[in-house]
Amino acid sequence: MELHSSKWPSIQNGKSGRHICSLNYVKMEDGESQLLSDEGQTPEPLLGSLDIFIFSLIAGLLIYWFLFRKKTEPVLDFKTFPAVSPPIPETSFIEKMKKTNRNVVVFYGSQTGTAEEFANRLVKDAHRYGMKGMAADPEEYDMSELSRLKEIPNSMAVFCMATYGEGDPTDNAQEFYDWMQGTDDDLEGVNFAVFGLGNKTYEHFNATGKYTDKRLAELGGKRVFDLGLGDDDSNLEEDFISWKEQFWPAVCEFFGVEATGEDSSIRQFELVVHNDINMNQVYTGEMGRLKSFQTQKPPFDSKNPFLAPVSVNRKLNKGGNRHLMHIELDIMDSKIRYDAGDHVAVYPINDAVVVNRIGERLGVDLDTAISLRNLDEESNKKHPFPCPTTYRTALSHYLDINNKPRKNVLYDLAQYASDPQEQENMRKMASASPEGKALYQSWVLDSERNILAILEDLPSLNPPIDHLCELLPRLQARYYSIASSSKVHPNSIHICAVVIEYTTETGRVYKGVATNWLKNKEVTENGHKHTVPMYVRRSQFRLPFKPSNPVIMIGPGTGIAPFMGFIQERAWQKEQGKDVGETILYFGCRHKNEDFLYQQELEEFERAGVLTQLNVAFSRDQEHKIYVQHLLKKNKEQLWKLIHSNNAHIYVCGDARNMARDVHTAFYEIAEEVGGLTHTQAVDYFKKLMTKGRYSQDVWS
């Protein structure tokens, strides 16, 4: 309702205006009838009837003019003041660097916050070498000024660039990427270095980092140090630490500087406690605008998510020890639009039990209102998360308390361990020594200790909670492939997900933040509906433009999600009388009687002729495991004909590490065995299909 509340005053004012007009009209009617009754009197009038009429008309006009004339208001002599413009954000990073005496700028292309975190760590490191740096979001600055960097003596630009999706730049780096592709600026004299963040399970490993490094050199930039390639499938942070430990000595040699010996664990933010504050001014989980959850205003995006009511939350599997769920989000009043294949991003909330235990362990009142204020007044990032807020809100909505802490967090927290052995072990784990790496791998990563587990298992560690809040990374939105078509469900978005819960090596129960939070959003009979902060992220995972093109969909487990939307849309196209090509699904699950997701719906689509072929691999219903790739090989002649002769589009959704690779291999073998191609030719063949948009993947690791 609040979306339309602004309309009401204008309607009410309009009505009152009409009432005034009708009242004036009634008065005039009354006056006229009174004049007519006067005319009918018997005594001989002093004036003729025509004279009376003219006199009355003149008198009436005079009275009307006197009562209803538009009064001229006195003209006041105002002094003119210059217009006060709102402050314009600084878009020139060059001018900002000059004003604040900085010579290192670290740009980050970040989708989940890791590249931004690495950029901030490099800025802190710069102080150890007598250099002054700033972290910068390329989206906030005019990147065409890069050629001017040489105006600043001994300057350098570092780029921490993550690759997202199928070799794409992150959202905040898209404009910079486009600029690099189109510019012919001369970057001679511009010193640069690049660290890429990627994942080897994906086809286009570190494509954005590689392109940035190559393109800046092509434009004449001077590479200070070799391109670094981080692999999130292995250990991204180890790759980053190994790279920067060689990067800084190279920088020292290049610029002729030496380490100052200063500790790089200096604080970036200062604590401000608000003892007497109006709680209406305190953030309670909003991502951008204060009170945006109370007064929802479109458009909705990552900074302004929509609170979507949960209208359906049902368990999909009939048995087994897992919980697979189908959730429907109501977007009726949001003006949100989506296409089959898009992703829905949801902002989860951390487990209140874990939040409370952190507060108890550190002995703090979690409802204290605080702000963390950047000590660098020139920084665009005034706070690490929306402030003012409370410790409880920060730990619940803004900070990642469930994942394993990175090494820099252990390093900065080590100073607060009073036991020398515990402090030594923390510093050792944060180091790059083989012993330290092994200890961090076993004690933190393999044992899956989150920050609460570390605080519980290191009794002498008592950090100030504000420093802990400064160090922990931001809690990120979770992305799910939308399991519906807007052609069929324009007012709802469907999610298919599996709840993550298992026991770790330390005996603790690990619970996935988002899936357990969503699981508890049960629909009650009393009419109250839980809400989920969400927005839609566009995808390139799209059905063919021509419905007549055949589609081959491969999606085991929850990888079926986008294909539910695709199948719904193909059914809708069929209803519209369009010529719809073959629609073939390869689905996989463990047991037919346990986790055959959407079985009833899929079989109905098959009976209706929408699904021309439903192939299901039940991996554990027989002695030898059968997966989707085995079914592909079984139908190799039909598949090759559809792909090679009938212009079929292939879609793969699910696990990138194993399934997607195995499916790739199966298609290579089909091309070799049926198409007569060599292995090299087969690999090249499917790469060309990807380039043409006929082989699409929506995968995760």
The string of pLDDT tens digits covering residues 544-582 is 999 999 999 999 999 999 999 999 999 999 999 999 999
CA-based angle 195:201:204, to the nearest 5?
Answer: 60
> Per the annotation, does 95 bind a ligand?
no
Across 523-539, average pLDDT: 92
pLDDT value at 20 more than 90 = no
> Per the annotation, does 164 bind a ligand?
yes
Length of the chain: 701
Burial 362-395 (b: 16+ CB within 10 A, else e): bebebeebbbbeeebeebbeebbbbbbbbbbbbb
| Token pair in block for residue 658 | 């194993």
Identify the band that residue 258 occupies on the pLDDT scale cut at 50, 70 and 90.
Answer: confident
Across 90-101, average pLDDT: 92
| φ, ψ at 509 (rounded to 5°) | -95, 120
pLDDT of residue 525: 83
> Per the annotation, does 396 bind a ligand?
no
Q: How many CB atoms are closer than 10 A to CB 45?
A: 11
The Cα–Cα gap between 527 and 188 comes to: 66
pLDDT value at 22 more than 80 = no
Across 111-117, average pLDDT: 93
pLDDT value at 261 more than 50 = yes
Is residue 150 within 8 Å of residue 189, measured between CB atoms?
A: yes
Residue 593: C-alpha distances to residues 320, 561, 606 (Å):
9, 19, 19
> Per the annotation, does 576 bind a ligand?
no
Across 12-30, average pLDDT: 35
- 164 or 398: which leads in pLDDT: 398
pLDDT of residue 71: 41
> Per the annotation, does 322 bind a ligand?
yes
> Per the annotation, does 126 bind a ligand?
no
pLDDT of residue 583: 98
pLDDT value at 617 more than 50 = yes
> Per the annotation, does 141 bind a ligand?
no
How do 492-498 and 369-374 pair as beta strands? unpaired
- 570 or 43: which leads in pLDDT: 570
pLDDT of residue 48: 56
The Cα–Cα gap between 683 and 127 comes to: 48
Annotated active-site residue 653? The verdict is yes
pLDDT of residue 382: 94
pLDDT of residue 266: 80
User: Which of 233, 339, 447, 700 does the annotation list as catalytic?
Assistant: 700
> Per the annotation, does 441 bind a ligand?
no
Reduced to 3 states, what is the DSSP secondary structure of residue 530? coil
Annotated active-site residue 179? The verdict is no
> Per the annotation, does 409 bind a ligand?
no
Across 148-165, average pLDDT: 96
Which of 16-30, 331-345, 669-683 is predicted least confidently?
Answer: 16-30
Annotated active-site residue 77? The verdict is no
Please report the DSSP string for 201-247 in residue order. Answer: TSTTTTHHHHHHHHHHHHTT-EESSPPEEEETTS-HHHHHHHHHHHH
pLDDT of residue 379: 85
User: Which of 147, 334, 396, 481 does the annotation list as catalytic?
Assistant: 481
Amino acid identity for residue 661 in this structure: R
| φ, ψ at 416 (rounded to 5°) | -95, 5
The Cα–Cα gap between 545 and 495 comes to: 24
Q: What does pTM read for this prediction?
A: 0.84
> Per the annotation, does 267 bind a ligand?
no
> Per the annotation, does 488 bind a ligand?
no
Across 105-132, average pLDDT: 93
pLDDT of residue 57: 60
In the sheet that 306-315 helps form, which strands lie side by side, from edge to edge?
Answer: 478-481, 343-346, 531-537, 306-315, 324-330, 492-498
pLDDT of residue 59: 60
pLDDT value at 74 more than 60 = no
Across 599-616, average pLDDT: 97
How do 306-315 and 324-330 pair as beta strands? antiparallel
Burial 531-566 (b: 16+ CB within 10 A, else e): ebbbbbbebebbbeeebebbbbbbbbbbbbbbbbbb
> Per the annotation, does 315 bind a ligand?
no
> Per the annotation, does 515 bind a ligand?
yes
User: Which of 443, 653, 655, 696 does the annotation list as catalytic?
Assistant: 653
> Per the annotation, does 535 bind a ligand?
no
Element (H, E) at 28: helix 8-39
Maximum distance among all Cα pairs of the chain, rounded to whole angstroms: 127
Across 430-437, average pLDDT: 93
Across 574-591, average pLDDT: 97
The Cα–Cα gap between 283 and 290 comes to: 6
Model confidence pLDDT, tens digit, residues 183-238 = 999 999 999 999 999 999 888 899 999 999 999 999 999 999 999 999 998 899 99
User: Which of 342, 412, 466, 698 does the annotation list as catalytic?
Assistant: 698
Burial class, 23, CB count within 10 angstroms (exposed 0-12 / middle 13-18 / buried 19+): exposed
The Cα–Cα gap between 312 and 308 comes to: 12
Across 348-374, average pLDDT: 98
Q: Return the sign of the alpha-carbon dihedral for residues 674, 675, 681, 682.
A: negative
Block residue for tokens 């933010």: 269
Across 294-312, average pLDDT: 96
Identify the band that residue 50 occupies on the pLDDT scale cut at 50, 70 and 90.
Answer: low
> Per the annotation, does 205 bind a ligand?
yes
> Per the annotation, does 557 bind a ligand?
no
Beta bridge partners of 616: 587
> Per the annotation, does 212 bind a ligand?
no
Annotated active-site residue 92? The verdict is no
> Per the annotation, does 21 bind a ligand?
no
Reduced to 3 states, what is the DSSP secondary structure of residue 520? coil
pLDDT of residue 227: 98
> Per the annotation, does 55 bind a ligand?
no
Average pLDDT taken over every residue of the chain = 89
Model confidence pLDDT, tens digit, residues 323-335 = 999 999 999 989 9
Which residues, 6 or more positions from 555, have their beta carbon under 8 angstroms from its beta carbon?
561, 562, 563, 585, 586, 587, 651, 652, 653, 654
pLDDT of residue 202: 86
